[in-house]
Amino acid sequence: MKQLLTILALTLTTLTLTAQSHKTPDASKPIQHVEAACGKCQFGLKSKTCDLAVRINGKSYFVDGVHIDSLGDAHAKDGMCNAIRKADVQGEIVKNRFKAGYFVLGKK
């Protein structure tokens, strides 16, 4: 039982640490400081589901490479569906979607 609890604790710690950071930044590319939130709930993008989006230079894009649920409970009081947060990102816009290579959500 003790071993099972230890494994569970280590698993939860690992998930918590990796939930906020996706990959490592590419030193040859600039990090962009953007707004991040649910595209449907906060940015008014058309979608049937709640999906992560970023706003860059006043334009919103759904994000590929990072799932909204990896950033905590989207429907919590301060979740992505209820609040616009700051994020540091690297990636590119392809076919009107932001392809994230690096994504770190700012502190609340």
43-67 pLDDT tens trace: 999 999 999 999 999 999 999 999 9
Q: CA triplet 24, 76, 71: central angle to 5 degrees?
A: 10
Q: What's the pTM value of the predicted model, to 2 decimals?
A: 0.77
pLDDT digits (tens, 9 = 90+) for 78-92: 899 999 999 999 999
Domain that holds residue 56: 2-105
Rounded to whole angstroms, the Cα distance separating 98 from 108 reads: 23
What contacts 8, CB < 8 A, 6 or more positions away?
none
DSSP state for residue 87 in the 8-state scheme: E
Exposed / middle / buried, residue 37 (Cβ in 10 Å: 0-12, 13-18, 19+): buried
* Total domains present in the chain: 1
What was the pLDDT predicted at 1?
A: 66
